[in-house]
Each structure stands twice: as C-alpha cells, then as structure tokens.
Structure 1
Amino acid sequence: MVMKKLVTTLLSSKRKPTHPLIIQNNQRFLAQTGFPGLLREYEFVVFDTELTGFNRKRDEIVAIGAVRIQGLRIICGQTFYALVRPDERFHTTSTLVHRLTPQELRGAVGLPEVLPRFVEFCGDAVLVGHYVGLDLDFLARATRRLMGGHLAAPHLDTIRLAMAYHELIHKEGREYAHRQGAYSLSGLTKKFGLPSFDAHNALQDSIQTAYLFLYLTRKLADLGLRTLNDFLSAGIKRTNLLS
C-alpha cells in the first residue's frame, strides 16, 4: 500500500499526462533498494541551471548545463547545454549577469523541448550540483508542469560535502561556514586550488562543480567514506552547519 501511494505521488499530475521518460525514471528509482556500492561504481551527472531569479513561482530557467562522470572521471565528450527561451518576458538584469542577451534567448527553444532532452541525458545517474536544492526545486516544478511528474533521483550537494570535509578534517566547519562567500563555488575553487572556469555559464559551472566534486570525494574517501550511502549520509548529517 505504501509503495502504491508513492508511485501515485511520483506520477500524478493534473496538468499533463505523465511523460514516458518520467515513468521510466520513477520506475528505476523505485526499484532501487539503497546505494551500497562503491562510489566509483555509479554514474553521475553534474548539472547547473541559470535562472532569472530565485522566486520559484515567478522566475524561470534560461539555461541548463551538465557533464557526465563515470568511474570518477569527467567524460568530456558527454555534456549537455541548452539555452531556454523564457515563457513570459525577458528578465534583463538576470540575463546580463549570465551574459545572455535577449536576442540569444529569443532564438532559443522553449523549456517543453529542452526538458525531455535533459531528463533523457540524466538517465538513472546520481545528480550532483552546488546548492543543488535550488536547481532541483525549479526542475521539479518544470517536470510536474510539462512532463506530468517528478524527476526522481538520488543527489549530492557539493556545499554539504565541503561542510562535511571541513568539519571532519580541519575541525573548522562551523566557523568557516560563516565566512562571507566561504561556500560559494568560486570560493571553494580558490581555497582548494582547483582549475577555474568562466562563471555564470551553466556548462562551465557544471564542469567547475565536477572538479570540486571529484576533489571532495577523494578527500572524504581518505577519511573512510566508500559507498554512495556513506556520501549521501555525510551530506545530510552536516546540514546543521548551514544554520
């Protein structure tokens, strides 16, 4: 009965019939019985969205970028990038931040075309992002509206993994968390001496996040974290550092 209710919740939508890709995604997710395998056994999709703002009801996705990781290596030939034409209006201030012009966005395709391509690219991979909850919220809203259900996938947040690392290794987690910009993508990139890419581009930010993710997984593995379950738990347990 519980499983039946979960399936109904994942697939239900009043606006659209459930897209076959969402059905496949949900069925794969529900078939999983945990994540006991070693981290390198899983496939990851590191992604980023560019948004017109942070208001989940008013703002929109204007770009999606992603890169695939297999065997804990970035697969450079397997990337995803798409500009998205907003539904309502062109948000000038935001698009300037992202270096996107109204002309570029007018020539882009709409989210109804881009979103299924992105869901297909993700497949059954574990999703990774920097402050990934925000991106997932916008994606969930979009998939419910346009594809009739949720995109269900385990996910890891590089902010939370960085917090776990600082708490366990440097024992500076809480103090470091309150430094301005400490857990920004650029701040962590600089702190760890990682390669730097252009900011405010969804694909470049995804690659930047992928480098950060691989760095943190190596460091946390040195502390004894091995399985995907270990990393999922590490991220959850250290969320109190955000407060």
Structure 2
Amino acid sequence: MKLFIDIGNSFIKIAYKNEILRYPTKVNYSLDSFLLLLPKNLKESKVQRILISSVVPSITSTIKEMAIKNWKIDPIMIEYPIKTGIKLMADNPKEVGSDLVCTAAYAASKTNEAIVVNIGTATTISHVKDKALQGTIICPGLQTSYNALTRMASKLNEITLKISNKNVGRSTEESISIGVLNGHAEMIRALVKKINVNNAIVFLSGGASVLIKELLPEYEYVNEVTIEGMKVIEKLNYEK
C-alpha cells in the first residue's frame, strides 16, 4: 500500500487505497497526538511507500517522524531532486510550492496544455504547457475572503453561503452569497480568460471548489488534484 500525504494550510490529507482522511492543520500537533487520530487499520497496515507534499514547514517534520515511527519508512518529499516531469519557469524555482508542482504534474499527464484552478486557503490558477509550469496567479481563497469580510465588518454575521442566480441580493445573506460565491467564480473566469488564449482545458479542484463548481460548468472538476499529481510523480519515479 502507498500513502500520499498532502499538508496544506487548512487541512492535512492522507490518501490510501480509495480513502482520503482529512485533519485540520494545526501547528501544535505532536508526533503521538497525530498518531492517535489515525484509524487502527491504517496504523497496522503494511505500507510500501509514503510521499509527502507540504506547504507548511512547521508541521512537516512532525508528520515525517510520525511516518518513520509507525511504518518504519522514511517518507519521500515532493522536492528536489525527485523527478516531477515538470519544468519550472519561475524566476526562482525553489519558491514554487510542492502543491503547484503536483497540480502541474497532473495536468501534464492528461494533456499538452491546461489551466489548473485550485481553490483552497489560496486560490491558485496555474498555466501548464509543454510539460512546464509557465506561471501561476495566487489569490485569496474563497473561504479566506469570506472570513476576512465577516471578521472586519462588525455588522456582517456569519451565514450559510448559498448560490443565487440573481445579480443583486435583497437580504444580507443573499448579498454576501452573491458577492463571495458568484464574485469568486467570476474572478476566476476573468483571470483564466486572460491566460487561456489557446482555449485549453481547465481543471477545477480544491476543498472550496464544491461551493462554486456549478457556477463554472465549463471546467472539468478533479477531486483532490494535488494528491492525483503526487500519484503521477510516484509512478514517474518508481514504475518502469
């Protein structure tokens, strides 16, 4: 069995077989406290290989030590010198997050050119072409924007966001929902249009994407694109 661990800003995800476990990202996890969260059958499973993608350095060492202690395996990090099959066109490739590398690897495994929209703590829009990550746009994520709005505007209470087919709202809840959900979808669509000059396929993923994917029906939804990209990288390095 193989484990794919995606350490994101909001959640730590552990994928194995057909399961994906999700735990809130907390900086105060200890090795033993995190182990206690894992189901017994997983802890007792025989694991062949563990890959980790992390954008939270403060937690990475704890998760690595947990894996070594429980499965006696030193995890493989998605970082240099592991082969990814992706050329990074960034001014400083060392700055490119492993999550972006994984999403690019997934896209490149499917087609020659694509746009990947990943809606998490940040919303990233990446252009992948000719097996290269051409560049990325990083925006505040949908939930991040909503949290900032309700925190900074004292009269706006938290609500349940609901998609509306109206252009303007007639209640606070409806108005916020249109601004946050429809607004985020339209921001994405406008930014994608600027870079997608060749009308390439657009992949949509990320935890918050389920809130607006019906507003972007022209995009192809991919569940957990970072983890899917890790699987592509694992095959590239270990399957002949």
TM-score, normalising length: structure 1: 0.25
- Higher strand proportion (structure 1 or 2): 2
Larger Rg: 2
| Greater helix share, structure number | 1
Between the two structures, name the one with larger relative contact order (CA 8 Å, sep ≥ 6): 1
